[in-house]
Every structure is written in C-alpha cells, then in structure tokens.
Chains A and B, each alone.
Chain A
Amino acid sequence: AQTVTQSQPEMSVQEAETVTLSCTYDTSENNYYLFWYKQPPSRQMILVIRQEAYKQQNATENRFSVNFQKAAKSFSLKISDSQLGDTAMYFCAFGGAYGGSQGNLIFGKGTKLSVKP
C-alpha cells in the first residue's frame, strides 16, 4: 500500500524568504501522480502543483516549484518570495495512475506553514 509522509508538522518563514516543505512517499508503482494542496485557515483546499511521475522535469507554478526525486521517492515543495497569504496547511498527496480504489488519493498529515512579517 502507498504511504505519504510529511515529517515537518510546523514550519515558519519570514516574508520574502524561501522555504522548502518535505514529502516522501512509498509505492511499488512506476507511474503515478503527486500533488501539493494548500488549505488556508478556514478556507478551501486548493491545488498548488501537480507532478506526473513519468515526467523528468520538475513542475513549477509561479513562486511554487517542486523537487521530484523519483529514485529517492521524495517530492518537496519550494515556495520562493514567501507572502503572508502563503500561510496555510500544506498537504502532499499521492495518486495512482489507475481508476478505482488503486487510484484514490493518499494524503500526508500536513505541514502548517506560518509566514511572518
């Protein structure tokens, strides 16, 4: 069974600085998808970034980028030029490449990020 581990329950960063959130996962599959979701306080969970395992290139979305290390089963999220609005819970998730139960998303416990002015 797949597992997702986020080893940093809480982190903080100064505004305008860079922070990296860690995520490791375990799977025997060769093709899959990885996600980072952001859940601001009392607000909706939204997708930050998505990575397809068979793509070598790391995904980027504006100030958000990932460091995907397939062999190490590591999927970290880097936030550059941190802003106060980045304060949120960040969840790493694994999604299989197949439909049905095998493909359901598996989430980590989350990392609470605080951006300080």
Chain B
Amino acid sequence: ETGVTQTPRHLVMGMTNKKSLKCEQHLGHNAMYWYKQSAKKPLELMFVYNFKEQTENNSVPSRFSPECPNSSHLFLHLHTLQPEDSALYLCASSQDQRGGLDTQYFGPGTRLTVL
C-alpha cells in the first residue's frame, strides 16, 4: 500500500479556508488522476494529468485547482469550498493514459469535511 500515498488522510476546513491535498506515487507512472468518492455514488473523475499535462477536466468547479509539478506529484488546491464538497478524495496513477490497458493504482484517500 505504499505505491500511492496521500496526505493528509483527514481534513476539516471551513468554507473560507484554503488548503491543499497532496498525492505522491512511487511507481514510475506517467498518468495521475483525482477522483471524488461520495456515499452511494460512483467514483467521479475530476482531473487527469499525463506527463505533467492536464488532459481531463471533468467540468469541475474552479474552487478545485489541480497542480502537477512532475509525474510523481499531484496536488489539489481547495478554496471557498461548499459543504457538498465533503467527500473522500482519491488519487490514482497508471503507467500511461491508455484507458483500460493501464491499470490504475489508488491511494488511501483524503477524507474531507467542509463545515
């Protein structure tokens, strides 16, 4: 379970706060993903980066701002969030972004609570 790590594991923030989620992968992969996991809903893909370039923004509100400085690190910057943004945020990585050909490996997630 050390292939993809995420920090912090838990985060509580107010609606006016600014915080960042961090993801790091130690698998030598080129693609990284942010997902939102809410109860009783399918995982929602938010962003995809391949070779540090953003290749997918799934109509995510601008209060979520991703950053990928290199292929091993991925951040999700949060500001002025809403209570409905409370969820488990999962990071994943894969060798490349070739659909099902590349298996995705997940981090443990950050449990975010917005008050």
List B78-105 residues whose CB lies under 8 Å from chain A: 90, 96-101, 103-105
Q: Is the interface of B mostly helix, strand, loop or mixed?
A: loop
Q: For residues 10 through 37 of chain B, which have their beta carbon under 8 Å from a beta carbon of chain A?
A: none
Contact assessment for A107 and B48 in the assembled complex, using a CB-CB cutoff below 8 Å: no
List the B side residues contacting A102 at CB < 8 Å. 99
Q: Produce 1/0 per residue, A73-99, CB < 8 A to B.
A: 000000000000000000100111111
Q: Are the CB atoms of A35 and B99 closer together than 8 Å? A: no
Question: Is A35 a contact partner of B98 (Cβ separation < 8 A)?
Answer: no
With beta carbons under 8 angstroms apart, the residue of B40, B97, B108, B109 that contacts A99 is: B97
Check if A45 sits within 8 Å of B106, measured CB to CB.
Answer: yes
- Distance A44 CA – B40 CA, assembled complex (angstroms): 18
Q: Which of B41, B45, B55, B99 has the most CB of A within 10 A?
A: B99
Inter-chain CB contacts under 8 Å: number = 73
Tell me whether A95 and B99 are in contact in the complex, defined as CB-CB below 8 angstroms, given that A43-B108, A44-B106 are known contacts: yes
With A91-B43, A107-B43, A108-B42: A47-B105 Cβ-Cβ less than 8 Å: yes
Q: Cα distance A109–B98 when bound, in Å?
A: 23
Interchain CB contact under 8 A, B42 and A4 = yes
Quick one: closest B residue to A96, CB to CB? B99
**B41, B97, B103, B107: which contacts A103 (Cβ < 8 A)?**
B97
Q: Which residues of B contact A43 (CB under 8 A)?
A: 1, 108
Provide a sorted-by-A list of 30 A–B residue pairs whose CB atoms are within 8 angstroms.
Answer: A32-B99, A32-B100, A33-B99, A35-B100, A43-B1, A43-B108, A44-B107, A45-B106, A46-B1, A46-B106, A47-B105, A50-B100, A50-B103, A52-B100, A91-B43, A94-B100, A95-B101, A98-B98, A99-B96, A100-B99, A101-B55, A102-B99, A103-B98, A103-B99, A104-B99, A105-B43, A105-B45, A106-B42, A107-B42, A109-B41
- Please give me the 6 A-B residue pairs with the lowest Cβ-Cβ distance, nearest first: A103-B99, A95-B100, A33-B100, A96-B99, A45-B106, A107-B43
